Structure 1
Amino acid sequence: MAKRYKIIVLGGGFGGLAAAQKLDRYLWNRKDVEITLINKTDKQVYMTELHEVAGNRIPPEGVLYSLKEALESTRVKLVIDNITRIDVQNKKLYSDSSEYEFDYLIVGCGSQPTYFGIPGMKENAMTLWSLEDAIKIRDHILDVFEAASKEKDPEIRRSLLTFIVGGGGFTGIELVGEFIEWFDELAAKYNISRNEIDLRVVEALPNILPNFKVDLRTKAENYLKSHGVKLMTNSAITAVEPDSIALKSGEKIFTKTFIWTGGVEAEATAAGIEGIEKGRRGKIKVNSFMQTNVPYVYAIGDCAEYVDENGVPMPALVESAMQSGECAARNIASDITGKEKKPLKLNLHGNMVSIGSKYAVSDAGGIHTSGLIATVLKHAVDMHYLLFASGIGMVIQYMSHQFMEKKTKVGFWIHHAKVRTSMTWLVPLRIFLGIQWLIEGINKINSGWLTTPNLIQTMIPGAAGAVSGASQAAEAVTSATQAAPAAAAAAPGWYMWFMQTFVFPNALFFQWCIALGEALIGILLILGLLTVLAGLGSIFLNINFMLSGMGNWWYMMSSIPMLAGAGRSFGLDYWFVPWIAKSFKHWYRGRQKSL
């Protein structure tokens, strides 16, 4: 019997997902290969956005993506189970109820908080490393504000309104950024003076955000300080109690809220694998091919320790996890197909940190930005990763949560844009607009737009009779323009140049485009098919007509609501849009990948 290769990817984070998807594409034609992704749940958490849940900016579902959708149109089998033991010698994984055999294993279990042996830290600190953690922090903040609003004892009230984040890295600073915005709302809601709220970052190193250059670090520090945040650097924590923390300096700070974000180690399952060489904080040592000391076991992402030829360790980033996962997948496929393995060549594009919803700092490819530009870049990168993870649907969901369903304070325009209404009320407008465009197109067809090049007569007043045939079109341009100096003056110069250079000499072609385009837009709007594209076409045509003095503002204003997807109510887009999205996903993920 022919050998079957069983490949298991353990962990459905960005690294594990990248590995599973690439394995499917590299080995698309191998019927003797089984690819399985094992994860604890059928949904994975976008870890780098947990601070937004903890800060009540977005709901919990805003950081979840479906592994089932992400693996749709692949041969990868998704298994929901909690692996408790890995036997690399006998090539088996064990859960409480099942065991799984493998020929190749990719360990992508991620990481967990590390407490550096600080007394009381594990028992008394909250962490931000899971969706449950984020929800717990959010609910705790609400509870302490309510308690503080009722508390009469000044010392207890002060400790209730003292919030300490331990660790000035990415996670800690992003969490504090969310608190800055949310605390303004909570202070107003519970009638608490903003000056009573004591928000601090406690960091053992000399600076926060040590991975950033000085200029970006300074901008982040200035922004935090300008919003009342106290930055306590060179302040190592020596002990944590239920109601206080102690610092190396001897200072003791009383607080009901201490959140630890100061470091991570390999997840317990990965750290507990016997027979595998470990590095610092339980991470699995790997070579440049992502192989462990056991050749058929690979490790990727946060649970792997890889140091390149220059002595630079692989950072704990989404980009690193994805690239290491793809590297492991490629090398397993190469091993099966008898091809040469290729080492990991990290191609990282920089770091970005959001400090609330309105400010960020970014080092993207060496280009330093801050404020709005960096915020836009951060959103773009997030959507890029989510597009990879779960397709365009997840990107749309992300945009909805970030801009339309944002729970904290928003500006005037976003506030009104969030108001929901039934798409059904746009159906009569959609159909009526479609009928008008269809009538326009039919009228042009019946008046000879497909046979006689009389476009000039319509576009420029006074040009009637200037064109009698296609061969005379070019000559008519000059006389038509001379006959209508007022029209030429009214239209922009660049537009007249375009018309004279391209449109009038090819009048019949453009007449076909306009007449048939109007009719097609009308049909699509009536049917509710490709409504967004039809709406864009309607706007485009009307802009052109308005530039030539023929436009109609009614058409323009009626076309804009079509961009909301009005065809998904009583229209064919209800079925067509999901079908085309699924078909595209199937094509994209089914593409072959050469090694």
Structure 2
Amino acid sequence: MEKVVIIGGGYAGIYALRELVKNKDIKITLIDTHTFHNLQPEVYDLIANKSNIADVTIDLTTLCMGLKHSYLEYKNLKVTQIDSLKKKIYTEEKEIVEFDYLIMAAGTRTYFPHVIPGLNNAHDIKKLNWAVYFKQSFENQLFRKIQDEAKKCDDTHIVVVGAGLSGVEIAAEMAYNSKMFFKRGNFTCDNLKISLISSADTILPGLDSKLVAISHERLKSLGIKVITNTKLQRCEDNLAYFTNGTKIDHSFLIFTGGVEASKITSELDVEKNSKGQIIVNEYMQTSKYENIFAIGDVAQIKNRKDEIMPPNVTIARISGINAGKNILNLINKKRLEKANPKLEGILIALGGKYAAGSIYGLFHVKGRIAYEIKKYVFDSYRKPLLKLITDGYKKLKKI
């Protein structure tokens, strides 16, 4: 029986898994250090009190049970070494997993440059545990403000370094959430400040100018101070120093300045880029091994115009499905299918029920309608998974 292993239970890994289970005669193993699939783009809703942990996670054990495949198993393991030639995966737990085909879907993490002293004190809210910690810390600070408002009303200053999608969305959600917090309680100590720092000459570098303009106007209306052409130089205690000569006394520093591939990619002797992402061909295969694939954020994926695609859910879906299909094609000795990665559009959450987006590059939407489109896209992904984990839970309770 052919053995297929997926390392990483994120968006790309789940799409690949759902494709692979169509073949009932192979053994499939999903490995992840977490027990849940983190719906990372929705973590900002968690921080802004629009959802809870159950809304932004999918249990991997019950998901695998719900897929109804006799030879599918989920293993909560930390991979330490991959032997590509012996086709063995070694783990911190001393368990060895063998494979005939391997899909790398371990994703990326926030890159904290070592050249910036003190940056280790910044929050990496892409990780669910840190997102929850930040949410609790922020709420505690708000409570202290209203508790002491008759005596003093110190500034609370959140500094978000990095004005890409992650930075813009978290700044917008935090600004909107805090405004509603003070408004609902009629509290007077509403002196919360948020600064968004961009090293480029604009926010959302790489996106079209109209979408940037819509987003910038929304941030401005939320009272967010946008500082461009500026880099973080160093951090000391609660002070952040910048290349424009300024220093900011902050309560929280959130760094979203870039990403790098999961450390596990270093275990593979295949071609990678400067971010550690695995370079793949049009079939999602690695440079040296036709039985090893890489998908989603952990891979450098190009479209048919040879342009590098940005890491997002759409590319995770396309690459995951393609890798799953091609492994089944290899097993069945069929011709491989070329992937056709392309963006269907982009939607940016900008606080409350307001979003902005570009649909297929043809037209722009903003406000409530863009928010509803974004919500529909998320629900169309999450609802089928909820059914699977519900079925899996019922099956598990019968055992």
TM-score normalized with structure 2 length: 0.90
Aligned to 2:298: 303
**Is the contact made by 1:145 and 1:190 (CA closer than 8 Å) also made in structure 2?**
no
- Taking the TM superposition and a 5 Å limit, the aligned residue runs for 1:89-100 are 89-97=85-93, 98-100=95-97
Encode CA deviations 1:413-441: one digit per residue, 9 max, x unaligned: xxxxxxxxxxxxxxxxxxxxxxxxxxxxx
Q: Over residues 16-58 of structure 1, what are the superposed CA-to-partner deviations in whole Å (9 max), with x where a residue is unaligned?
A: 1111111121x24xx3x21111122332110001111122222
Q: What is the root-mean-square deviation of aligned Cα atoms in Å?
A: 2.5
Point out the structure with max Rg over C-alpha.
1
Tell me the equivalent position of 2:44: 51
Q: Aligned pair 1:70/2:63, yes or no? A: yes
Three-state SS of the structure 2 residue aligned to 1:348 is coil
**In proportion to residue count, which structure has more helix?**
1
1:124 and 2:118 correspond: no
Q: Partners in 2 of 1:145 and 1:226 — Cα distance? A: 21
Instruction: Give the CA deviation at 1:152.
Output: 9.8
Map Cα deviations across residues 264-304 of structure 1 (whole Å, 9 max, x no partner). 1101122x214122112111111111111222111110001
Q: 1:15 aligns with which of 12, 16, 23?
A: 12
Deviation larger for 208-217 or 86-95: 208-217
The amino acid across from 1:387 in the alignment is K
Structure-to-structure mapping, 1:94-493, within 5 angstroms: 94-97=90-93, 98-120=95-117, 122-149=119-146, 150=148, 157-158=154-155, 161-187=156-182, 189=185, 191-194=187-190, 196-270=191-265, 272-293=266-287, 294-365=289-360, 366-391=362-387
Q: Deviation digits for residues 496-551 of structure 1, max 9, x if unmatched?
A: xxxxxxxxxxxxxxxxxxxxxxxxxxxxxxxxxxxxxxxxxxxxxxxxxxxxxxxx
Deviation at residue 190 of structure 1 after TM alignment: 8.9
Please say if residues 205 and 235 of structure 1, whose CA atoms lie closer than 8 Å, have aligned partners that are also in contact. Answer: yes
Deviation track 1:153-193 (CA, whole Å, cap 9, x = no partner) reads: 98x933xx111111111111111222122212443559343
* Conserved 8 A contact 1:115-1:121: no
Distance 1:300 1:312 in 2: 16
| 1:206-252 per-position Cα deviation (integer Å, ceiling 9, x unaligned) | 11122432222111111111221111111111112221111111111
Distance 1:192 1:269, change over 3 A: farther
Q: Select between 289-298 and 78-87 the one with higher mean Cα deviation.
A: 78-87
One-letter amino acid matched to 2:367? G
- Where relative contact order (Cα < 8 A, 6+ residues apart) is larger, the structure is 2
Give the number of equivalent residue pairs.
387
Q: Following the alignment from structure 2 to structure 1, what is the Cα–Cα distance between the partners of residues 372 and 388?
A: 18
- The residue type equivalent to 2:234 in the other structure is A
Q: Are 1:81 and 2:74 an aligned pair?
A: no
Residues of 1 paired with 2:245 and 2:213: CA distance? Answer: 28
Preserved contact between residue 304 and residue 340 of structure 2 (Cα < 8 Å): no
User: In structure 2, how many angstroms separate the alpha carbons of the residues matched to 1:246 and 1:152?
Assistant: 32
Higher strand content, 1 or 2: 2
Cα separation, partners in 2 of 1:190 and 1:164, compared to 1, 3 Å: farther
Distance in 1 between the 2:166 and 2:10 partners?
A: 17
C-alpha separation in 2, matches of 1:355 and 1:332: 39
Deviates more, 1:366-375 or 1:381-390: 381-390
Paired with 2:15 and 2:350, the residues of 1 have a C-alpha distance of 28
Q: Which amino acid aligns with 1:52?
A: D
Q: 1:185 to 1:336 in 2, by over 3 A?
A: same
Would the aligned equivalents of 1:283 and 1:305 in 2 still touch at CA under 8 Å?
A: yes
Q: Secondary structure of the equivalent of 2:3?
A: strand
TM-score, L = length of structure 1: 0.61
The runs of 5 or more residues in structure 1 that have no matched partner are: 395-577, 584-595
Displacement of 1:392 in angstroms is: 8.1
Is the 1:57–1:178 Cα contact (8 Å) retained in structure 2? no
Contact conserved, 1:242 with 1:256, CA < 8 A, in 2? Answer: no
Question: Aligned partners of 1:391, 1:241: CA distance in 2, in Å?
Answer: 48
Question: Residues 165 and 84 of structure 1: is their aligned pair in 2 closer, same or farther, counting only changes over 3 Å?
Answer: same
